[in-house]
Structure 1
Amino acid sequence: MADEVLLETPLAGLHRELGGRMVPFAGYAMPVQYPAGIMAEHLHCRARAALFDVSHMGQAELVGEGAAAALERLTPADVQALKPGRQRYGLLLNERGGIVDDFMVANLGGRLMLVVNASRKHVDFPLIESVLPAGVRLRPLPDRALLALQGPEVAGLIPTGMSFMGIGALEIAGIPVIASRSGYTGEDGLEISVAAEQAEALARHLLSLPGVMPAGLGARDSLRLEAGLCLYGNDLDEDTNPVEAALVWSMGKRRRMAWDFVGAEPVREALDNGPKRLRVGIRPEGRQPARAHTAVESGGATVGEITSGGFGPSVGAPVAMGYVRRDLAADGTSLELRVRDKALPARVAPTPFQPHRYAR
């Protein structure tokens, strides 16, 4: 809608000052790129360090006795086994076994911290509240910003002593933050939660560090695609089962024995009998990228669809992810992509397209 009023993050003024090109995203005005351009921002993140504003994401705390067990009613992630100072990836499911959202959950000792997708927080928070017993409360944190500093030089700029998926309270330039060693780029880095009123001071400090440049949504998308990471609304939705999405690894072993979460039966059925389709990596041959909603064909018949696709600057070639019929999901399988009414050759390829460089 032309008259849609967009929300702004605490860094909106800084984005404009830095020449960010603002676009609507999940109800917010967000920078898609800065003057250097998406390609430069992407490659700089892979080589050095890039700063992303992800304050549009939903942050919340879950507090009270039994918070982890309560959250497990909606997710197959093993939340109760999460030790203090650690976080993990999880899925919120509906009764059909479909994915309501993917999220991060951290044990901060005495409370759980959640980060959910911007486009889904209005759905997620009421859903979580609906299963909470007396004494457990969900506290949304709209007064906190979230910054992602990503790239191989981050560990040298801000030493934390944490390994991948570690999280804790620390100070950066005298500003108290909660930082996790994680991200959405496939690179080492930090995601940093900070009080909204201190977000700009923190961002300016981080941008003053050697080798750090600002990066927008465009580079964030191409980086996560090369890393084989899902985008909710493209690769995942309420009709997607975790098994067909190739996200069984996010489901705890204990949870797959108890089957005591919402949507457990459809998930179990897909695990036992195999899903009809599977999410796979796809490498188009040649230089033409295949975008989301491109039809995937085999022998002239439609056998699937691209859900994320574009040019991979680090790979130097187009890359894509999508769902194909299970019998065509093996690496190396030849396919055709229907791009501008032409059938372009492609093949199923392993993900990530660019190796992850997490601090294991």
Structure 2
Amino acid sequence: MSVRDDKDSLKRTPLYDLHLSLGGKMVPFAGYDMPVQYPAGVLKEHLHTRNSAGLFDVSHMGQIALRPKSGKVEDAARALERLVPQDIVAIAPGRQRYAQFTNADGGILDDLMVANFGDHLFLVVNAACKAEDEAHLRAHLSDTCVVDSLADRALIALQGPKAESALTKSCAAAPAMKFMDAGPHIVAGLACFVSRSGYTGEDGFEISVPAADAGHLTKTLLENPDVMPIGLGARDSLRLEAGLCLYGHDIDTATTPVEAALEWSVQKSRRSGGARAGGFPGAEKILAHFDHGASRRRVGLRTEGRAPVREGALLFAGSEGGEPIGRVTSGGFGPSLNAPVAMGYVPTRLSALDTKLFAEVRGQRLPLAVAAMPFVKNTYKR
């Protein structure tokens, strides 16, 4: 296949033409032609999001409605609990929760957001996994639920300290929303689904909008001088500073939620001794990790120098000799910190804060230390 043929095979979001008009540099990502940056560049886009408001096209993500055949949203919630270790029944109407699909070995098939819209559940899943996720839901939940792929909707994210003021001009309900509130709202006269959440560590919103109206809504928000279009490059550096996992890199089918330091996402009701403990794929292994610990753990890493440590770099306990004890799964330069940041997996016995380790970079071992995450304090509106 030629480069041109490969380019032509990529899918496009409803905002593709707008990206081109804004000078977006397009690259392949999860089967889509997506903007990695705009003329301002990754550094300025990153800092603008931290200081003002950044607008992201995340329409490549999967949006799914899980509708209970009984008409009772509790039945859809109980059904979804067959596939995730989270307490879905406890999500109140108008609220949202982070979750993971797990496999029989306790590994993570995908991570997702689950919102209770009162009469059904609204799910947002990762772009690279959405076809498999939909098939997984249909294979296991079709007895009680209708799985409705919302392919006719776009998704945009508005993130940063000025996101609320920017959205309020188009959505009167925005100021009253708290972190992880979610539901139908009118935005710029359009029927949208809005959640107060995001992937940057900043306060912000994700807005699901009919695909045909995505361009109009995006242009309306960009009319605000506080709002700048942001590409995938800054999205990645922002989420890394926030200590947030990227599926397929920091979490995967061979990693349990406990190994990934995501214990906080599994409520006590689904753990050992809880009212509804277990009952999800891989429960035996995951609950054993809760009870007895896992042999490895995802940790934050900070280097002593200025050289970034990238994904794939091997980690060692000493400066010379010895076998690798772990691997970096995400790494790069943190513009907000003006310093490199990374995260990766190490033996649990070496996961304590300030533990000294070494990363192999271009044949040399660079000193680093286990560091607390997030690297940049989050600003969610609680």
TM-score if structure 2 supplies the norm length? 0.93
Q: Which blocks of at least 5 consecutive residues in structure 2 are unaligned?
A: 169-173
Q: How does 1:340-359 map to 2 (within 5 A)?
A: 340-359=362-381
Matching residue within 223, 246, 252 for 1:208 = 223
Is residue 54 of structure 1 aligned with residue 73 of structure 2?
Answer: no
What's the CA shift string for 1:119-167, capped at 9, x where partnerless?
Answer: 0011111111111153411100010000000000111222311100001
Which amino acid is 1:339 matched to?
V
Q: CA deviation at 1:170?
A: 1.6
Matching residue within 287, 301, 305 for 1:286 = 305
SS of the residue corresponding to residue 158 of structure 1 reads helix
Matching residue within 39, 42, 60 for 1:38 = 42
Cα distance in 2 for residues equivalent to 1:13 and 1:149: 19
Q: How does 1:8-47 map to 2 (within 5 A)?
A: 8-47=12-51
Is the contact made by 2:325 and 2:347 (CA closer than 8 Å) also made in structure 1? yes
Is the contact made by 2:86 and 2:266 (CA closer than 8 Å) also made in structure 1? yes
Matching residue within 185, 198, 219 for 2:200 = 185
Partner of 1:235: 250
RMSD between aligned residues:
0.9
Which stretch of structure 1 is more off in the superposition, 332-341 or 297-306?
297-306
Runs of 4+ in 1 over 2 A off after TM superposition: 1-4
Which amino acid is 2:25 matched to?
R
Cα distance in 2 for residues equivalent to 1:135 and 1:348: 45
Q: Which blocks of at least 5 consecutive residues in structure 1 are unaligned?
A: none
Q: How does 1:182-331 map to 2 (within 5 A)?
A: 182-256=197-271, 257=274, 258-299=277-318, 300-301=321-322, 302-331=324-353
Is residue 140 of structure 1 aligned with residue 149 of structure 2?
Answer: yes
Which amino acid is 1:324 matched to?
V
SS of the residue corresponding to residue 305 of structure 1 reads strand
Matching residue within 358, 361, 365 for 1:336 = 358
Q: How does 1:165-184 map to 2 (within 5 A)?
A: 165-184=180-199
Using the aligned pairs only, state the percent identity: 55
SS of the residue corresponding to residue 365 of structure 2 reads strand
Cα distance in 1 for residues equivalent to 2:248 and 2:371: 22
SS of the residue corresponding to residue 268 of structure 2 reads coil
Cα distance in 2 for residues equivalent to 1:209 and 1:141: 29
Which amino acid is 2:102 matched to?
L
Is the contact made by 1:9 and 1:145 (CA closer than 8 Å) also made in structure 2? yes
Q: CA deviation at 1:273?
A: 2.0
Aligned residues: 360
TM-score if structure 1 supplies the norm length? 0.98
Cα distance in 2 for residues equivalent to 1:224 and 1:23: 19
What's the CA shift string for 1:97-119, capped at 9, x where partnerless?
Answer: 00000000000010100000000
Partner of 1:96: 105
SS of the residue corresponding to residue 254 of structure 1 reads helix
Is the contact made by 1:70 and 1:133 (CA closer than 8 Å) also made in structure 2? no
What's the CA shift string for 1:204-239, capped at 9, x where partnerless?
Answer: 001001310000000000000000000001001000
Cα distance in 2 for residues equivalent to 1:339 and 1:145: 40
